[in-house]
Each structure stands twice: as C-alpha cells, then as structure tokens.
Amino acid sequence: MQIKTDRDARLGYWLILPTVIAVSGLIFYPIVYNLWLSLQEVNMNPVQPNTFVGLKHFTDVLTDSDFWRSFKTSLIFTSTTVVGTTLLGLGTALLLNRDFPGRSVIRGVILLPYVTPVISAVFGWKYLFDPVFGMANYFLVDIIHLLPQHINWIESPAYAIYAVIIFNVWKNFPFAFLMILAELQSISANLYEAAEVDGASIWQQFRYITLPELKFVIGALVILRTIWNFYKFSEVYLLSSSVEVLPVYIYEKAFASYDFGQAAAISAILFVFVLGFIMFYVRKVLEW
Amino acid sequence: MRKNRILTLILLTVLMLALTTGVFAKTTVEYWTTQTEENRVEVINSLIKEFEANHPAFEIELVTVQENDIPTKLVAGMAAGRLPEIVEMGSEVIMKMGAEGMVASDEVSTVINKIGKDDFFKGSLTMLSRPEEGYFGVPFHGWVQGIWYRQDLFEEKGLEPPTTWDNIIKAAEAFYKPDQQQYGIVIGTDKDAYARQTFTQYALSNNARIFDENGNIVFNSPEMVETLDYYSRLAEFTPPGPDGWRDARDLYLAGRVPMMMYSTYIMDDIGLEATGYKGEKGSIIPNLVDKTAFANKMHKTRDAVFGQINGLTFIKGNEDTQMDGAKMFAEFLLTGDNYIKFLHMAPGGMNPVRASIASDPQYQNNKVLEVWGEKAGEIAAGLNSIGKFGYVGGKVFPKIGDITSQFIVGQTIMKMTESGWTAEEAAEWGQKEMEDAVE
C-alpha cells in the first residue's frame, strides 16, 4: 500500500484527524492502560511507584478456583438471560403483531420494564421477594403451599441467581420485543397469503416464512445481549450481592481487596474471551 | 472620544469584577460523612449554612458516603489523588488511614486540645490514638450495640434476659415459629458490616480474637471455632436467608421477632410511636418503648460490650487554608448548640463523647431521650468500655481494615449458614482469607 501525499490526501488526513483522536483517546487508551495495569502490582498511594510483575496476575487468576466459579456463574447468567429475553421478546412480538383493540396501548405498556430506572425496579423486586413480607413467598408458601417455608430469594446464594436471571429477563425482553416487532411488520403479507393458498399450517408459516425473515434481527439481538449481559454489573449487584458474576468479581478484587493489577488482568482475559466469541459467532452462526 | 470612554469604563468594570472575585474567592473544604439519611443531611446542611454565615471565607462541600462503600470511595479518591479535607468515619477506618500516613495528626491534636482533652471520654480517645503516634481522629459521637428484646414477652414465657449465650439461644428457640412468620432473633448473616458487628460481641464474650497481642491472626483458635459454632446454631432461629440490619429493624418493629441485635440508633425508631408519631397504622407495635429492654453486655467467659466511636479527621496533603477551614469546622461541630443539634439528628443513637455535653440539660431536652428516660443514660455509659477486634490489650491493629473491607467475617458466617460448612472448616477458611488480606 502506498501512502498518498498530494494536496487532496493531506486535506483528507486533516479531516479524519478528529475522529482518530477521539477513537484513540476513548477506546485505545483505556485498553492499553488496562493492559499495562494488568502487568503491575498497583500501589494505592499515588506518590509511590508500581512494581512490574509481568504475567504473574494472569497465572494467579487462571489458577484461582474463585475465578472459575465466577466464570461459570457468568456463563449460566449470560446464556439463560440471552435465551430468555429473546424467546420472551419473540413470543410477545408475535402476539402483539395481530390486530386487536387497544394494541398500541399494550405495546407501550410492554416497554415499561425496559425504561424504568434500574434502582427503582430493584427496590420493587426486593419487596416482592422479601423473605417475610414479600408477595412471592406469601403466594408460593401460604396460599398454594408449593414450598414448605419462606425463602430469601434475593440474598440467599442458592436462590439469588434465579432471582437475578428472572429480573434481567423481565427487565430486558422489551428490547428484543421492539426489534422483532419492527422486523415482523416489514414482512410482506403476500408471503403468508401464498403459503395459505398452498395449504401451509400456522406452524409451517412460522417455520418457513417468519423465522427466516427474522434470522438477522434475532442474530443481532443475541450477540448484543451476550455482550451486554456478560459485562452486566448494575442489575446484578444492585439486586443481590450474593451473585458473583465476573464483573462483580472484578469490582471486589479492585475495591475490596485493592488489587487493581489482578482486576485489570481479569478484564483483559474477559476481553479476549468475548472478542473470540464474537468472531466465532459472526463467522459461523451469522455467516456474515 | 465618547466610544473610547465607554470602552474604558467597561474594561474597568471587568477588571474590578475579576479582582474582587479573586479577593473573595472562597476556600472549599470537602467534608465526607456517613450520615446518608435525608433528614440527617438536612440538619448537617443547616449547620453548614450557619458555619458559612459566620466564616464567609469558607465553603463546605458535603459528600455523603454509605458505610459499606467507605473502602471503595477511599480507594477511588486515593487513586485519583482527590481526597477530602475532613471526614467523619468509624474509628477503624480512621486508624487505617492513620497507619497509611494519610492523617494530619498534629492538626487533630490541636483541635482536641482546643476543645479540652479532659472533657472527652477517655475510652473514646483511646480508640482513636496510638500510644507512640498520638491522635488520629477527634472523637465525635458513638453508639453501643446489644440485644434489644421484648421484656413483656420474655416475662410471659418466664425467660431470663438475653445476657448469656444459654439464655439467648433458649429464648430464640422458644419464640421460633416459622410457619407463622415468627422468628427467634435477628443477627447478621450476610456479607456486610452488620454481620461482623453482631458477631464481634459473641466472639469477645468468649475471649475469641482475630489478632493476638503480637498481631498474628488467630481466627482458627478453639475459642473462635466455639463461637462460630454457637453463632451458626443461633442463626437457625433467624428469618430465612442472609439477614442484614434492615431485617432486624423492620421485623422487630413489626413484632415478628422478640429479639434482635442493633445499635442505639434503634432508640429513635422504637421511641417514635410514643412521641406522637402518626405513621402507617400497625407498622409499629404500640407502646414499644415500655415493652423493650436492652441487653448491651453479653457474657460467656467474660463480659463484652461492642460499639463504635466515630471521629473527625483531617487528610494530609491539602492546602493550609483548606486545613484551617477544616479545623474550624470540626471545632464548630463539636461546640455547644451545634453539637447538640447534630446529636439530636438520631437521638439516643448518637451519643456525646464530651462529658459536659452529656450532662447538659439542653442535650437531655429531647422527646425521644425523654421517652427513654433513665435508660438512655445507662445505655450511653457503655460507650467507655467498648471492645473490638482491632484493639487488643491496649494495642491497635489497623490491619483490621483490610479484613473488614472484604467482609471476611460475614463470608465466614455465610459458609456455615448457607453452604452448611462446619465451624472448623469455616474458621480455617476465614483464617486463610484474613492472612491473604493483611499480606
């Protein structure tokens, strides 16, 4: 490749310079700084220097059973919420794609969980699942006697992961719903008419018309939600500190153990993992 | 000509404005407090306004920090090189900052001496000083923890007051009826500061320590294992799942537990109803003050009282003028009417550390304190004999801060209550985590 140096090209370089500065300042600098941190034993006192420790943090992290437990929790959380939000969004979109009175109102109401501020939703859920006064326990234990005794759904490490998953699905499915609904409305009615004439059942129409048309939007939703939820901190940590997904683990390494170097190393590992996943997914699943 | 004159006039005005703002530029003093409740912030803001009116050169910037977030905020502030001038925090946090060389110890001594060293309760000064290095914080206010219990229900069942291990667990078992959502006791069983605070009192009453006198970690001692074992057995009579301070408060006020561990801050809530509180009907048991008693001493092999002294301290490395403002503000907060106004934010909860204020009729003249009557005085007396994990035989171990910031005590308890570990396993785990933490 030859670098152009004529007047037009030089003007061109000047014109893209602001973008280059913005991108390197906002994206490359933090990444490089994080990588640099991951090789240091960071001293909390800004006056004293850091010590270079090479790849020690990486070997420490990869041999730490706590890390792998968090990794597993993160995988469970991400996979279930991605499937949950997508399926629930798809189902709701299919239902609300039909004509019925009050449809636009319902469509608006469905969006509520998504637009509610996280912290207010979290407090609502905390009361809903309160171990003593909560509606959930009252219904499950005292009314229908499904469970023998009240459970602390939100704080107990054994159950908190379910609460967090359900909460995340409830909070985020409207986004999937919105995207899928928009795509559904662009599918031509002619296709369904033709299929009906050919005698296709409802299932066959869904399987051979709706799904292929939705392939790309669902594919995009899955990849976006995976990235978002793999790094999800607020919705998990605010609802329950008992669910140690990786972002929470990093937070505690940095701010409770004051081990910034190791926290940076974990971030770097996550970065590589998610990048690998995205590349695989885009090539093999989406076939872009 | 005329144009020129107008121009000169404009220039002059601009210049004068610039000069005057330069002269009257206020020195900003940042003040961190752990009082986050809205009504307390209001009181503090009104005190700040009063201070600023009397000291126009200074501007106080209030930052509220949740107790559990202190370690995080301090680290972030340190890393960013942006720490406040004056902070109001618990004694362990202040001692840890002192050990790291962050505290302006001379300034602290100046303020203590100016207010009058002899007027401070001795116990409160000890918690904020190191024999060889002097004072790290000016004592500000304190609370005492213990078991608050329903005297009426205890008498009905013929139970002894919950002052010994046997009495406590016997009573907890007697009241535990989970199918009616009635539970025996609330103690801390979550990964938070509350769990460490409630556990400490059991440990100290059995002479179980985190540090020995040489600063070695002795969390796996037989005494500690015994305490952990007892604590997990007691936790069987608590409401489901990990419990925190909010559960203790809400469930006791609503009459779901007859016993719970809490600091003196509950006096305000319990006393509310008797002061003509017109809140939600049925949210508080009627006449709860008369039915409540407080066991602040616990006994197994020795008596133990637990509590906290909060202090004010100054951070090194700020400008001299800012330091002056911080010192003046600290003095202002600890003097006369201002101090009383501050303490009345949480009557009974915040106890004075100055003898002259404790006996001041104006301090005692408060609805909640009057409702509690003599009990209030007895409770405050506990302040002088507080024991803590970080203080052993007159020595202070600021390293406790590394252990508390990771909530290792709470996590150890959860290993037993949530994952079914034995006390020995949990103690070994805690020992290892603590050794790693103080490394």
Max distance between CA atoms of chain A, in angstroms, equals 81
Contacts of B402 in chain A (CB under 8 A): 258
Residue of A nearest to B420 (CA): A158
Residues 6+ apart with CB under 8 A from B169: B230, B233, B234, B237
Compare B177 and A158 and report the one with higher pLDDT.
B177
Domain range for A256: 55-285
ipTM given for this complex: 0.75
Task: Report angle CA B385, B389, B394 to the nearest 5 degrees.
Answer: 60
**Could you tell me the residue ranges of all domains in chain B?**
25-143+308-380, 144-306+386-438
- With a CB cutoff of 8 Å and minimum separation 6, the contacts of B150 are B258, B259, B291, B292, B293
Is A73 a member of any domain?
Answer: yes
Residues 6+ apart with CB under 8 A from A152: A131, A159, B239, B240, B241, B242, B243
CB B415 within 8 A of CB B429: yes
Assess B239–A contact: CB distance below 8 Å, yes or no: yes
Interface contact A41, partner B, CB < 8 A: no
CA distances from B302 to B134, B163, B207 (A): 30, 11, 7
Q: Is A205 inside a domain boundary?
A: yes
Query: What are the tokens at A89?
Result: 């969004």
Q: Is residue A262 included in any domain, yes or no?
A: yes
- Local confidence pLDDT in tens for the 439 residues of chain B: 566 777 676 766 666 655 555 555 788 999 999 898 888 999 999 999 999 999 999 999 999 998 777 777 877 787 777 889 999 998 888 888 888 788 899 999 999 999 999 999 888 888 898 877 789 999 999 999 999 999 999 999 999 999 999 999 999 999 999 888 899 999 999 988 899 999 999 999 999 999 998 889 999 999 999 999 999 999 999 998 899 998 999 899 888 999 999 998 888 888 776 665 555 555 678 788 888 888 988 999 998 989 889 999 999 877 888 899 999 999 999 998 999 999 998 888 888 998 888 888 888 888 888 877 777 777 777 777 788 888 887 777 888 888 888 899 999 999 999 999 999 999 999 999 999 888 7
- Contact B78/A45, CB-based, under 8 Å? yes
Q: What is the CATH number of the domain that holds A89?
A: 1.10.3720.10
Domain B144-306+386-438 superfamily per CATH: Periplasmic binding protein-like II (3.40.190.10)
- Identify from A42, A129, A133, A152 which residue to disrupt to test chain B contact, counting B C-beta atoms within 10 A and taking the largest count: A152
Residue B226 is encoded by which pair of tokens? 């015994």
**What is the pLDDT at residue B11?**
67
Whole-angstrom CA distances from B71 to A218, B198, B301, B312, B402 are 42, 20, 34, 17, 9
> Which tokens belong to A75?
């995988």
pLDDT of residue B368: 82
What was the pLDDT predicted at B283?
A: 64
The mean pLDDT of A166-186, rounded to a whole number, is: 94
Q: Would you say residue A133 lies in a domain? A: yes
| CATH topology match: B25-143+308-380 vs B144-306+386-438 | yes
| Distance in angstroms (rounded) separating the CA atoms of residues A280 and B13 | 67
Q: Let me know: does B288 contact B294? Beta carbons within 8 Å.
A: no
What is the 3-class SS of chain A, one letter each residue?
A: CCCCCCHHHHHHHHHHHHHHHHHHHHHHHHHHHHHHHCCEECCCCCCCCCEECCCHHHHHHHCCHHHHHHHHHHHHHHHHHHHHHHHHHHHHHHHCCCCCCCHHHHHHHHCHHHHCCHHHHHHHHHHHCCCCCCHHHHHHHHHCCCCCCCCCCCCCHHHHHHHHHHHHHHHHHHHHHHHHHHHHHCCCHHHHHHHHHCCCCHHHHHHHHHHHHHHHHHHHHHHHHHHHHHCCCHHHHHHCCCCCCHHHHHHHHHHCCCCHHHHHHHHHHHHHHHHHHHHHHHHHHCCC
Per-window interface: B 48-107 vs A, CB < 8 A: 71-72, 75-76, 78-79, 81, 100
Contact across the interface for B78 and A257, Cβ inside 8 Å = no
Residues B376, B367: Cα–Cα separation, whole Å = 12
B428 token code pair: 């070994």
pLDDT on residue B177: 93
| Assigned domain for A217 exists | yes
Q: What backbone torsions phi and psi does residue B207 show, to the nearest 5 degrees?
A: 60, 30
Q: B78: part of which helix (H) or strand (E)?
A: helix B70-79
A 238-277 → B contacts, CB under 8 A: 241-242, 252, 254-258, 260
- Tell me the shortest Cα–Cα distance from A228 to chain B, in angstroms: 24
Choose the closest CB to A44 out of B75, B242, B243. B75
Lookup result for tokens 């801390």: B188
What's CA B392's distance to the chain center, in Å? Answer: 20
Q: Do A242 and B239 touch (CB under 8 A)?
A: no
The CATH T-level fold of domain B25-143+308-380 is D-Maltodextrin-Binding Protein; domain 2 (3.40.190)
Number of domains in chain A: 1
Q: Which pLDDT score, from 0 to 100, does residue A149 have?
A: 84
* Contacting B residues, span 406-425, partner chain A, CB-CB under 8 Å: 406-407, 414, 418-419
Answer whether A119's CB lies under 8 Å from B204's CB.
Answer: no
Q: Is residue A8 part of a domain?
A: no
- Amino acid B141: pLDDT: 93
Tokens found for residue A141? 């234990």
From chain B residues 286-345, the ones with a CB under 8 A of any chain A CB are none
Cα B92 to Cα B400: distance, rounded to the nearest angstrom = 7
Question: How many whole angstroms separate alpha carbon B354 and alpha carbon B342?
Answer: 13
- The kind and range of the H/E element at B76 are helix B70-79
B182 part of contact set with chain A, CB < 8 Å: no
- Counting one residue from chain A and one from chain B, the pairs whose CB atoms sit within 8 A come to 72
Q: Which residue bears the tokens 């069942």?
A: B157
Report how far residue A243's alpha carbon sits from residue B207's, in angstroms, rounded to the nearest whole number. 34
